[in-house]
Structure 1
């Protein structure tokens, strides 16, 4: 049940050296992010820049870094993603405000619709076209939702899942998909914003001359990003929170062991998140719940995520990407068309007011990361005059733990192995249709909006 042999000290020394080099590359990536204009303008994360530096120096390019080092970085992703997910539900409390819930419902339904479409359509395309014509793996259709909505962190973290289920190339393809999604979110989002302003769809910005790329300080004043909730004479606060995360991971490990006979290939990280929920429920019944500082947990998550992204991107297998280039481009083009329909057709019919602003923040998140979604929103609503940002924030606890890299995302590959890409794709497309029906029944989705311009005029 437990490992019965110690880890070789030489292997540990090698791991420390590999992590040190990874940290050096991240530092260089940070300097480039701070100094290079195009990186600053389009909010390219330092970890992504560092990952591409590692890829350039790796065995498939300049061959400066040894293959063993890069392979170790790639393997770390499966470990680090568990640290990212374990504290996700620890320290969280949900308000009881009915008004807040009602406020967030359209955003929740719109987000779920976008994610289920991003799962269902690619899986159907893979099942009907790509698998028969190109002989790709049954899991190929998962790389869109894993890479786009999940981002580079989820794409890298799923490497162990892909390997366990017999598709070791999956992580490289998912990471490439994540990079494409990030570019589509940034540049495609700006194109859509310009179209929206020109046609009068936006609520705040009324002229293209008012458009400015959302500014974000690259450095900030020295403010507290976490708080010490435990006296340092007792225990270092980061150590205390790391201990809580460790308990969540141990509980997740037990859950994984119990469920693995029923669900083969079940990854650890969603189980660690459920372990965190168990920890949260138990501690919330005690006075020690007040010792949890969400900001400290987020700092630990952020540390793991930064190193995860650098290592995962640096370990992308370029020959594998070239091999799958054509089917990946077909899947990407199809997903773009679905996203455009989702934005321009569903958006104005789902949101009664400020539909463009509510929709654009979701578009950025579904293709890239939260930062891209907020950047696009700040571009069309610089002073946050609409309710889009608040509604988007309220929807997070109801969406993030499940899709866009959450529990459901992690389980989809296992479902595909059991039932096939086509069957699972049809199932998620049916869920998308059900979401639209429910939204219509409850008066959230309105078919009588004959045009997006009518919706704009109504909300003005």
Structure 2
């Protein structure tokens, strides 16, 4: 059930050094943002700047960092995202059933509609253009859903599946698509955030400019967390770290149970449910009053910054150039679809904070959950909207199916069995059915009928 393999002292030391270098890259990102005005005007996070610097100094750039270190970095996002999600529901008031429905239902419909479009449009492009003109495999169009919402982990895992189906190039092309999606998700997402800030859609960015001081004056500073326990008992951050550890342990147990029925269930949504269980128990004890959301957010924020810098610094650059022409056509079609869906569906499906609710999904739809959370952090750095909580609540209902779930695993077989025309058309029919359902449930409304942004107190 639990990973109990021995880790040698040298491996732990190598991990410490790899994380130390990531910390230095983030510090370099802070310095570069202080020195370079365009980075401030674009609100580029220091972790993203540090990640790009790490990629430039890696084996596909200057060669300062070896392959072994970059491989270590590439393994960190899947772990760190669990730390980000585990405290999501600890120390917060659990919403009522009605409130939960209002948060989760639009997120679910938005997520599934967007994913079906990421299947349907690329498959139809494959059928109409790529197969006739470039003689690609019928499975070529599946690399978008596998590599974009699924990410590099899913793309790598699907390599043997493609090989078993007689298309060995599927694995490398999925990795190329994942890399292109990661780059597009980050760059286009930041462009959308800056456009949204200028149009007044992003409350957290309203009124910000490149001249806003990066080092806050004394009167504008807020505490990182509150001391809620006597230090003779336990340090405050250590206490909150134990709560996160308990949530992750419960998540591991839940993952082990669910994988008997749903193989491939990721850990992070289960850790979020574990956090809900921790909150339900500790809220009934004397320690319930010692839980400080600010301390939990501090741990969460540190994990998210490390996640961003490690994910970006470990990008496998050379795979982007493989099969560049048909892959570029496919990626361009998927990118246009993602941007269109963001502006078309977002303001119509989310009553409050539509931009923040949509941007986290945009990042996930194009470049996995870690990029979605990074974009949300850029748009809503203090997590004042309900976007993070709604996104976390929807995860257990989406992760097992799409973006690396059961449907993702079946896509190559479906494409080979029924052909790209049938799979693409079927996916668009499913998206249309969800649109009809959204209207029937009165979730889909005119943008003018809902408020622009509502912040939590």
TM surpasses 0.5 = yes
Higher mean C-alpha deviation, range 136-145 or range 79-88: 136-145
Aligned to 1:33: 33
- Structure 1 residues 189 and 57: alpha-carbon distance in aligned structure 2, compared to 1, 3 A threshold: closer
Structure 2, unpaired ranges of 5+: 161-170, 364-371, 416-422, 453-457
Are residue 282 (structure 1) and residue 281 (structure 2) matched?
yes
TM-score by length of 1: 0.73
The answer for the alignment partner of 1:118 in structure 2 is: 114
3-state secondary structure, aligned to 1:420: helix
Contact 1:214 1:376 in 2 (8 A): no
TM-score (norm 2): 0.73
Q: CA offsets, 1:342-371, max 9 Å, x none? A: 46655676689xxxx965555544445578
- Equivalent-residue separation in structure 2 for 1:49 and 1:203 (angstroms): 24
SS class of match (1:140) = helix
Distance 2:438 2:52 in 1: 42
Residues matched between the structures, number: 409
Per-residue Cα deviation, 1:111-132 (whole angstroms, up to 9, x for no partner):
5554333211111234444496
Q: 1:67 offset after TM fit, Å?
A: 0.8
Question: What are the equivalent positions in structure 2 for 1:58-457 lying under 5 Å apart?
Answer: 58-95=58-95, 101=99, 105=102, 111-130=107-126, 133=136, 136=140, 138=142, 140-145=144-149, 159-166=152-159, 173-188=177-192, 217-220=213-216, 221=218, 222-323=221-322, 325-326=324-325, 329-339=328-338, 341-342=340-341, 346=345, 359-362=354-357, 364-368=359-363, 393-394=385-386, 396-402=388-394, 408-409=398-399, 411-412=401-402, 413-420=404-411, 432-441=431-440, 443=442, 445=444
* CA gap 1:176/1:232 in 2 versus in 1, 3 angstroms: farther
* Shift of residue 13, structure 1, vs aligned partner: 1.7
Distance 1:53 1:214 in 2: 21
- Greater shift, 130-139 or 87-96, is seen at 130-139
Distance 1:375 1:14 in 2: 31
Answer yes or no: is the 8 Å Cα contact 1:116–1:428 preserved in 2: no
Q: Unpaired runs of 5+ in structure 1?
A: 147-154, 205-209, 379-388
Distance in 1, matches of 2:40 and 2:215, equals 11
Structure 1 position 24, deviation (Å): 1.3
The whole-number CA distance in structure 1 between the counterparts of 2:293 and 2:185 is 29
- The two structures, once aligned, show a CA RMSD in angstroms of 4.2
Q: CA deviation at 1:326?
A: 4.4
Q: Secondary structure at 2:68's aligned position in 1?
A: helix
Compared with structure 1, are the counterparts of its residues 61 and 252 closer, same or farther at alpha carbon in structure 2 (3 Å cutoff)? same
1:278-303, Cα deviation, whole Å (9 max, x unpaired):
21222223332222111211111111
Q: Which residue of 1 aligns with 2:369?
A: none
Following the alignment from structure 1 to structure 2, what is the Cα–Cα distance between the partners of residues 84 and 128? 36
